[in-house]
Amino acid sequence: MYPPIEPHAQGMLEVGGGDRCYWEACGHPRGEPALVVHGGPGSGCTPRQRRLFDPRRYRAILFDQRNCGRSRPHAAEASTDLSANTTPNLVADIERLRIHLGIDRWLVHGGSWGSTLALAYAQSHPRRVSRLVLCGVTTTRRREIDWLFRGVGRFLPEQWQRFREAVPEAAGDEGVVAAYAARMEHPEAAVREAAADAWTRWEDAVIGHEVSGDPRAYTGRPQRDRLALVRICTRYFANAAWLQEGALLERAHQLRDIPGTLIHGRLDLSSPLETAWRLQRAWPRSQLHVVEDSGHTGSPSMNECLLAALDGPAAAPKPA
Residue 315 has pLDDT above 80, yes or no: no
- What pLDDT, in 10s, does the model give residues 93-119? 999 999 999 999 999 999 999 999 999
Query: Please, which pLDDT band fits residue 214 given cuts at 50, 70 and 90?
Result: confident
Global model pTM greater than 0.85? yes
CA distance readout (Å), 155 to 70, 158, 290 = 36, 9, 22
pLDDT for 213: 83
Would you name the residues annotated as active-site residues?
A: 112, 268, 296
Q: 320: how many CB neighbours lie within 10 A of its CB?
A: 3
Residue 254 has pLDDT above 80, yes or no: yes
Find the mean pLDDT for residues 218-245.
97
C-alpha to C-alpha distance for 271 and 249, rounded to whole angstroms:
15
Find the mean pLDDT for residues 147-161.
97
pLDDT for 123: 98
Share of the chain above pLDDT 70, in %: 98
- What pLDDT, in 10s, does the model give residues 184-212? 999 999 999 999 999 999 999 999 988 77
pLDDT for 317: 38
pLDDT for 212: 79
Find the mean pLDDT for residues 157-168.
98
Share of the chain above pLDDT 90, in %: 94
pLDDT for 314: 65
Query: Please, which pLDDT band fits residue 257 given cuts at 50, 70 and 90?
Result: very high
- What pLDDT, in 10s, does the model give residues 18-51? 999 999 999 999 999 999 999 999 999 999 999 9
Residue 83 has pLDDT above 60, yes or no: yes
- Contact status, residue 113 vs residue 139, Cβ threshold 8 Å: no
Residue 320 has pLDDT above 70, yes or no: no
pLDDT for 176: 98
Residue 75 has pLDDT above 70, yes or no: yes
- Contact status, residue 286 vs residue 280, Cβ threshold 8 Å: yes
Residue 227 has pLDDT above 60, yes or no: yes
Query: Please, which pLDDT band fits residue 313 given cuts at 50, 70 and 90?
Result: confident
pLDDT for 318: 37
- What pLDDT, in 10s, does the model give residues 3-23? 999 999 999 999 999 999 999
